[in-house]
Each structure stands twice: as structure tokens, then as C-alpha cells.
Amino acid sequence: MIIPQEYKWIFWEKSDNPLYKAFKNKSCIDPRFLLFETEIKDFNTQNIINSSFDESKFNAIYIHIPFCKTRCTYCRFFTEFNNENILNSYVESLVKEIINQPVIKIRKKIINAVYLWWWTPTVLEEKHITAIFDAIKKTHILSNDCEITFESNISLLNENKISALKNAWINRFSFWIQSFNTKVRKFVWRLSEKELLINMIKDIRKRNFANISIDLIYWLPFQDIEILKEDINIWAWLWIEWFDIYQLDSSLLEKKFWDKLEFLTVSKRIEMFEMANQSLFELWYKNINNTHYSNTSRERNLYTELTRAWSEIMRTDTIWYWAWAQWRIWVFKYSINPDVNLYVNAIKWSKSPIVKYLKINEEKKILYDLIWQMDFGIINCWWFKTLYNEDLFIKFWYLFDKWEENGLIVYSENNTIRLTLAWRFWKTNCIHWLIIWDNILNNK
């Protein structure tokens, strides 16, 4: 097969050590956003929702809280610094939007997961927490096993907030720790010290009304392999049910801090990744998907897993109440103006805050599902043949053979492909290949 010259970079010479030598540099940017290509003009929100929502599918609610006490040095997302007046106005508008949800189809849907997220919802006071969740309970039907997650800066919790969260039926905390090391944390403006974090986590565990998930980032400034190992050991000692471990996207870090990352070459990052996987295996943590680990069956991470799939079997409709980011209804995704004041005014005057609808191209649905399935370390070609009538072995034979030749995948029985540890580290690079290769096949 003749490969266009501009795509030659997606392949490399065969290596006896693909984990260390597959690429010179590692991409951290999620390429799935490339799959949304068509903007819908003159849209009608209610018509889109009424034509798209399916009551038989999984459903989730995402509630967006874009307020922070401080901005982390690696953060490039929209946020409002904590201002009491703006926060009060925002929560009032949020509650009004939830209660006045005009689409009857949404109100009738059973909700399987609720996620209160984005930056630090912990800036909310107990009155805000109570108002938001009272509105959700009044207007939506929550399933008996509904997973309700509260994203949190653990240092901002107090007795009153914890009590309000318990009464709101929160059954899962997600704490953005990044590292327990105080020096590393303070450099990225995570200001709480290690001892406070540990004591707060122990206190939440004793209450036993919610399980705990923690995020860990590696390749932070001043962080080395020993600090990462200490973080993992603290995790295990605290018996955290679930945590995510992922690499810092250095492009998000302010440029003035880049020199603090220079000592962490790609090979050093790979050593950290390899050590983490080995340590977690020895500590009885199961690798659930590419970045997630669990030591019990209590943790489901239901919102994240449900909202990543596009297939008719697994797809989830997600109802987002205000968002800087984007909201999804089946093949549609919408954007809302990232200005709290504009949002507040839109809700005040009963206007839709939506400014843009994007639609995934029909031929890209299979690609999105393939990327979703890869996150679990496997490609089940029989599944795609059954669901899409598409034989992946035929469509991607050249790419798969290159991956197999270079130690990224292993062909298994029963029409499945297993992804190796090397593939997991170079995941985003490989997904970029997949999208590029699909474009080559479609002459785009």
C-alpha cells in the first residue's frame, strides 16, 4: 500500500522495546474532538432533544460549577474566581434552569448517574448544595442505584458541607489530589499540605456514606519517580477504592514553568508509567481501563464509562446544566457561552444559553466506539461486525499489522485484539493514527 508522504511520520522502524522507542514525543491531547465536524445552523433545541432522546437508554446529568479559589498552573480552562455575589446568582439561575426544564421527555427519563463537577464545586456552601439537589430530586427520576458524584477540593470541606452532601444522597467523592507531596502541590497552586489531605480522606472514609476516587498526575514540576511511588503507597495505605493516574499535558502548563519539566524526558515519564503499573499490580489494584484502577467492586465510575460510548447498545444521553465545555445528546454536542453573566441573563429572560450545535458525522460513529473500546485494552472485532456490519480486520488491516509488528497489539482468538502496555502509554499517539488512517481510507 502506498502511504502519502505527509503521513509517513505515523509509522516507525520496528523496535525491540516499543514501550520506550515507539515515538520520540508523546501526545497528550485527546483527539476524539476531531470527530465532530458538522455545525448545525438554525437549530431548535427542543426539536433536537425530542428527536434524539431514547427513554430506554442510560441517562446522566452533569452539573457545572466553574468557580475556583485559585487557578492551578496547569489549568487553561474557563473559571470564575470565587465571588459570593456571582456564585449566588449563578446557583439561583442553575436551580431555575433545572426546575424549568421545558422538555417533558427529559423529565420522564430515569437518571443513572449525576455528576457535579468542574474545578471545585466545594466552593458551594451548604445552602447551594441543598438547593441544587432539591431541584434535581423534584424534576428528575433517579434510579435506585444512581451514582451521584461530587468533585471536590477536599481541603474546602467542613462539617456543614459534608452533612449537606450526605443529605443530598452523594455516594461518590472525586478528589483532585494530583500529588500528596507538599512541594509539588504548592508549585502547581494546590495549596493544601499532605497531612491535611490524609486526615480529611481518613475522616471521609470513617463516615462510610460514599466511596472515594482520587486523581493522580505524573510529570508535574519537581516530581520524580520516588515521589510518585510515595504517592501510590499513600493511596494503598488509605485503601482508596479507585483512582486515575494520568500524565500532565505540558501544553496546559504556563510557559514560565516549562524549565521545571526538562529533567523529565520521555524515557523518564515511561519509567514512571511502568513503575506505577507494576506497583499497582503488586498492591492488588485492577486496571479497569487505560488510566483507571480499582481495588474493590464498590467503585463503578458510572458517569465516565457511560458517557464515552456512542453505540446503540451502550450510548448515554447526558443532560448538562450550564457548561463551559460541551453537552451531548446522542450524535449531537452543544456549546454554551462561557460567561457566567451571560448565562445568568439568559436564564433570567427564559432564553436558551446554547450558542452552537455540532453533529458527529455518521461515518465517524464507529471510530468513536472503537476509541471507547480501546480504553479497556481490547478491540472486539466481532462486536463491530455485529453492530455496524464492518469488518475491522479488513478496514484497518494495514494499520493493525503495523501495530502488531511494532509490539503495540497482540492478535488473540475469537476475533479480538489485545492492546499492550506500550499501546497504553502511547494511546493518544495511536488514536491520532487511527483518525488519520481513516481519513486516508476516505480520501480526506
Q: What is the DSSP string of 33-94?
A: GGGEEEEESS--HHHHHHHH--TTSEEEEEEE--EESS--TT--S--EE--HHHHHHHHHHH
At 207, is the secondary structure helix, strand, or coil? helix
Mean pLDDT, the chain, rounded, equals: 80
* Bridge partners, residue 60, by sequence: 113, 318
Q: How many CB atoms lie within 10 A of CB 79?
A: 20
Instruction: Tell me the domains of the chain and their CATH numbers.
Output: 5-26+377-441 (no CATH), 38-307 (3.80.30.20)
Look up residue 390 and give its three cell numbers.
464492518
CB-based contact 210:167 (threshold 8 Å):
no
**φ/ψ (deg, to 5) at 342:** -65, -40
Phi, psi angle pair for 288, to nearest 5°: -80, -45
pLDDT for the residue 207: 93
State the Cα angle at 21 between 16 and 27, rounded to 5°.
Answer: 145
Q: Give how far Cα 123 sits from Cα of 152, 387, 438, Å.
A: 9, 44, 44
pTM (predicted TM-score): 0.86
Confidence tier at 331 by pLDDT (50, 70, 90): very low
Does the pLDDT at position 53 exceed 60? no
Tell me how far apart the alpha carbons of residues 132 and 94 are, in angstroms, rounded to a whole number: 8
Query: For residue 233, is pLDDT > 50?
Result: yes
Tell me how far apart the alpha carbons of residues 25 and 300 are, in angstroms, rounded to a whole number: 33
Q: Which range (23-27, 121-125, 159-163, 284-288) has the least confidence? A: 23-27
pLDDT of 327: 46
Q: For residue range 118-165, list pLDDT tens digits in order.
A: 656 778 999 999 999 999 999 889 999 999 999 888 888 899 999 999
C-alpha–C-alpha distance, residues 289 and 54, integer Å: 27
- Residue 3 is given by DSSP the state P
Judged against a pLDDT cut of 80, whether residue 276 lies above it is answered with yes
Please give the pLDDT value at position 91: 92
Q: What is the pLDDT of residues 389-431, one digit of tens each?
A: 999 999 998 889 988 988 999 999 888 999 999 999 998 888 8
Distance CA 254, CA 261 (A): 11
Task: Please state the rounded mean pLDDT for residues 78-105.
Answer: 80
- pLDDT of res. 170: 94
